[in-house]
Amino acid sequence: MSIANQNKRTGRAFQAKLAEMSGGMNIGTLGGEDVMHEEFSYEAKTYRPNTKSNKGKPWKGDYILTLYDEGKPTLDVNHFYYYEISTYENIFIMLRWWYWDALMKGEIPENRIKQYFKKVETRFIGNTYMRQAENNCPDGKVPIVVVHTVGRRHYSDVVLILREYWRSLLEKLFDKRF
């Protein structure tokens, strides 16, 4: 099997898993959203660290979060962490799937949310991922990018959301202005 076909199969498998995890529907057609949800439009991305071009290096977004969350293999409801990532193009909120899932289920108290800030000076592929998510997002929904590192557990997938959507989401969840 060619590498391109292998990558397609991996991507489709992740889309199906993301649909299951998010409670959405896997519709991943060419040029459209990958996973349809009543509030969100999910864009599913996979990253293979051990390809020739990646040379074993983790994806930059995953690397930033790994520096922080090492030693936390499960949800710690006493500490909810996310990063605000500033790039030349966008300001993102980046967090692990386990926190995103718990937040969507209402398991995270507002007083446990802690923010960290990181400025990314180099090229950040998250900009391209988010542009694609926004282009494929139907009106009235929030574009979300979820990046899975092949070979890792799905609870540690990286979730990207633009800061403007993040703030309105928190306001909606906590009935409070952020």
Q: Above 70 in pLDDT, residue 105?
A: yes
- Those residues whose C-beta lies under 8 Å from the C-beta of residue 149, and which sit 6 or more positions away, are 46, 47, 48, 49, 58, 59, 62, 156, 157, 158
Cross-strand partners of 25: 36
DSSP-derived 3-state class of residue 83: strand
- Those residues whose C-beta lies under 8 Å from the C-beta of residue 142, and which sit 6 or more positions away, are 39, 40, 41, 161, 165, 169
pLDDT given at position 31? 63
| Residue 155: φ, ψ to 5° | -65, -20
As a dihedral over the C-alpha atoms of residue 11, residue 145, residue 100, residue 54, rounded to 10 degrees, the angle is 60
DSSP state of 9: H
User: Tell me: the pLDDT tens digits for 51-73?
Assistant: 777 787 888 888 878 776 655 54
What is the domain range of residue 100? Answer: 3-174
Other beta carbons within 10 Å of 44? 27
Q: Above 50 in pLDDT, residue 102?
A: yes
pLDDT given at position 73? 47
What mean pLDDT is predicted for residues 118-137?
88
Q: Above 70 in pLDDT, residue 176?
A: no
CA gap 176, 153 in Å, rounded: 33
In sign, the C-alpha dihedral spanning 2, 50, 151, 68 is negative
| pTM (predicted TM-score) | 0.88
What mean pLDDT is predicted for residues 23-34?
83
Q: Would you place residue 38 in the very low, low, confident or very high pLDDT band (cuts 50, 70, 90)?
A: very high
Q: Would you place residue 177 in the very low, low, confident or very high pLDDT band (cuts 50, 70, 90)?
A: low
DSSP state of 143: E
Q: How many domains does the chain have?
A: 1
> Contact 20/37 with Cβ under 8 angstroms?
no
Other beta carbons within 10 Å of 38? 9
User: Tell me: the pLDDT tens digits for 128-145?
Assistant: 999 999 999 999 999 999
What mean pLDDT is predicted for residues 120-125?
79
